[in-house]
Structure 1
Amino acid sequence: MPRKHVVRTHTIRRMNFETLAIHAGQPPDPAYGAVMTPIYQTSTYAQNKIGEAAYDYARTANPTRTALQDCIAALEGGKHGLAFASGMAAIDCVIRLLRPGDHVLASNDVYGGTYRIFKRVYEDYGVQASFVEMSDLDAVRAAMRPNTRMIWIETPTNPLLKVADIAAIAHLRDAVRAAPQIVVDNTFASPYAQQPLKLGADIVVHSATKYLGGHSDVVNGLVALNDDATFARLKFLQNAVGAVPGPFDCFLVLRGIKTLHVRMERHSANAMAVAAWLESHPRVERVIYPGLPSHPQHAIARRQMRVFGGMVSFVVKGGPEAARRVAEGTKLFALAESLGGVESLIELPAAMTHMSVANSPLEVSPALIRLSVGIEHVDDLIADLKEALEAR
């Protein structure tokens, strides 16, 4: 048997975000003192006695996954964390809290996969979904129904980067007898930029594939929350349905999280510079970025976000064909779906990530371009965009 290594412990709740990102849920391994959380690549565990074991089967729990779950809980300021095989698996698990006849009120500009699962999967099982402008509190209030059990917020949204006032919506919710749960998809912001649980949300979901992983090499989803009873139900569903991540994927996300704070600062600084440059370019019709004073919800973003993130959307003059030429004309910005990696990406949401909302009230303009601004030197990124915009 390996000797037990003496591990010095610490009280994580007193630490700043940057320290939590590196240490939360990740003390040195007690067996040999490994500083990095080991990859427990096993499907089952030996038990000293029947029914007496910290771990029994890897679908139910895995030490590497436990470390990631504890880490995301700490970063979001919550008590509990859960990890899943993808962001959509995390979303699916949370939606399973609803029952036939329940109504969910969602942002009218959500990721295409979120719209698809509500309208083309769960409506078949009796869960009603409607979509509203979450930045308009009067519209949110008017759209509430007696059977509304969940309010689903993306902020900033994908791809129009609308910003919802989480605290204000939570206050509005508290005045409703049914008190629906507030779920916030925090993927675009990351917990470094904003912590929805501290603003009144009940559950936070992430596609950890994006900023949390940060290197475009893993698919993963995360959930964080405080309520013990809701956690127990989600934990049951996580095990019963089985859409769990492998230990190596959890290891990759933990590795990415360790640099989240420094990456988000660079993503945000680069995105601000790119957005400001685009706004001044004569061939650009409109730029959407929460950090710009021209953004309709800039004041809300300043109040609830630490940084504004790395996502920028814009519309070029000349319509869809001009947008397509720009998207296909960049060299550093790779034409690709997804976001949040260290490398910069460009895409046309209407033809790529948001095809599932075509011919729906959430349809995206084919002239809209979405950037995931990476951490390269910003001068090189601007030069790349300039060449693509000005090409004949």
Structure 2
Amino acid sequence: MSKRKPPHPETWVAKGLHDPAADGGAVVPPLQPSTTFARDADYRLIGGDVYQRPDSPTLRPAEDVLARLEGGAEALLFASGMAAAAAVVQALRPGDHVVAQRTMYWSLRNWLVGFCRDWGIGLDLVDAADPDAVARAVRKGETKLVWVETPCNPTWDVVDIAAAAEAAHEAGASLAVDSTSATPVHSRPLELGADIVHHSATKFLNGHSDVVAGALVAKDTGSPLWQRVRANRRDHGGILGPFEGWLLLRGMRTLFLRVTRASATAMKIARHFERHPKIAAVLYPGLESHPGHGTAAMQMHDGFGAMLSLRVAGGREAALRVAGGCEVFLRATSLGGVESLIEHRASIEGPESPIPDDLLRLSIGIEHPDDLIADLERALKAV
């Protein structure tokens, strides 16, 4: 008798790993809002949970889905992507050293610089798209964490995860990879040597612009760093609420449909505008002209993500006019929802931002690609 082939991720994710037979036949996974859980007359727990902060029956299914998607041993959900990242950095000790990416999510970069300065943690910011830069920056016995983001926001530079992992591990450090824009649909950093994967689950994992959440996935739950991360979530109270966890699981059930559609559209948009006379550059790792395309092609699969940036010929004012002229794209911060967004990042990040002021960041949703292209073309005509 032939052995049944395991289902594809698209199949079990659509069900959220939920078994209706274990839940009275309900097709939709349940929401449990209780903050506390009762004991019997002998003061034994009736179930296995004590209190919502360390024990949440609603979060566990979402965590199980994400851990399996990433090929990890355990996932933890947090109240935001920032809370998840902070739990990792706050697991370090004064005197430790961190190597991080120079260009990455702006809010995390700013917080990281300030926290490391105030808590006596050494920090080197490097061009992580250059593997040699990471290798030169790590200090054997001192560096405890290497943090990279790939593709990185908003230039979409690509980091060689395997090379970064090798450099980190030779120094005795852990590698954490922010894989928010790639998602587990396109990349599984743990398989390439990473120790922790980070997601702003607000973005593609939820996918509907209605939940703020963060997530971490560990390759090894027994590492001292991960044990401190788990304690940080419990003790600092950065837990995700049950309703938000339930919505997040709902969003992940359509993850493959949303992300593959949006990524295919992003590629179509990138190719359309790659040689446009009013576009100075298209930043998208799926294009052969992108400097990180070769690395992206090796470590990403089934697409290159739904994020790209356009550098508009004519500078800041021209870029702002293009953003202002769009009607299908919404002018808003964030990314990863079903609706397409356009953002002038330099305006958001302020005068200290290293981002070029002619850059427009596009988060591609699930609209028809021809409508998105036509919207940008109309806006460009006014420039």
Classify the TM-score, shorter chain: over 0.9
Q: CA deviation at 1:14?
A: 4.2
- In structure 2, the partner of 1:221 is 214
- Partner SS state of residue 222, structure 2: helix
Matched, 1:343 2:339: yes
Q: Could you say which residue in structure 1 is the equivalent of 2:261?
A: 266
* Aligned mate of 1:79, from 55, 73, 76: 73
For residues 259-300 of structure 1, the C-alpha deviation after alignment (integer angstroms, 9 at most, x for no partner) is 111111111110011111111211000110000010001011
Aligned-partner Cα distance in 2 for 1:387–1:23: 41
1:99 equivalent in alignment to 2:90: no
For 1:1-392, what aligned pairs fall within 5 Å after superposition? 14-23=6-15, 25-28=17-20, 30-48=22-40, 49-52=42-45, 53-146=47-140, 147-174=142-169, 176=170, 178-230=171-223, 231-306=226-301, 307-352=303-348, 354-355=349-350, 358-359=351-352, 363-391=354-382
Q: CA deviation at 1:173?
A: 3.0
Q: Which stretches of structure 1, 4 residues or more, deviate above 4 A after TM superposition?
A: none
Q: In 2, Cα distance between the equivalents of 1:268 and 1:195?
A: 16
Alignment partner of 1:57: what SS?
coil
- 1:62 positional shift: 1.1
CA distances 1:38-60 after superposition (whole Å, capped 9, x unpaired): 11111111122425341111111
Question: Which one-letter code corresponds to 1:85 in the other structure?
Answer: A
Residue ranges of structure 1 left out of the alignment (5+ in a row): 1-12
Superposed displacement of residue 107, structure 1: 1.1
Q: Is the 8 A contact 2:145 2:168 kept in 1?
A: no
Contact 2:201 2:214 in 1 (8 A): yes
Q: CA deviation at 1:217?
A: 0.8
Shift of 1:124: 0.7
Q: Counterpart of 1:376 in structure 2: which amino acid?
A: E
- SS at 1:63's partner residue? coil
Report Cα offsets for 1:15-58 as digits up to 9, x if no partner. 42212322454333734232211111111111224253411111
Give the residue type in structure 1 aligned to 2:176.
V
Distance 1:309 1:31 in 2: 35
Q: Give secondary structure in 2 for the equivalent of 1:249.
A: helix
Measured on the aligned residues, the alpha-carbon RMSD in Å equals 1.7
- What is the identity, as a one-letter code, of the residue corresponding to 2:10? E
Q: Which blocks of at least 5 consecutive residues in structure 2 are unaligned?
A: none
Q: CA deviation at 1:96?
A: 1.7
Amino acid in structure 1 at the alignment position of 2:329: F
The number of residue pairs the alignment matches comes to 374
Q: Which one-letter code corresponds to 1:32 in the other structure?
A: G
Deviations 1:123-157 (A, max 9, x none): 21112222111121221111112411111010000
Give, in angstroms, the shift of residue 61 of structure 1.
1.3
Contact in 1 for aligned 2:63/2:76 (Cα 8 Å): yes
1:236: Cα distance to partner?
1.8
Between the aligned partners of 1:60 and 1:29, the Cα distance in structure 2 is 27
- The answer (yes or no) to whether the contact 2:150–2:156 under 8 Å persists in 1 is yes
**TM (normalized to structure 2)?**
0.94
Task: Find the aligned partners of 2:20 and 2:95 in 1 and give their Cα distance.
Answer: 48
State the 1:114 CA deviation: 1.1
Counterpart of 1:9 in structure 2 is none
- Partner Cα distance (2:120, 2:323) in 1: 40
SS state of the match for residue 22, structure 2?
Answer: coil
Task: Name the % identity.
Answer: 44
Q: Distance in 2 between matches of 1:138 and 1:236?
A: 34
For residues 321 and 41 of structure 1, what CA distance do their matches in structure 2 show? Answer: 49
Distance 2:268 2:211 in 1: 28
Q: Determine if contact 2:16/2:252 at 8 Å carries over to the other structure.
A: no
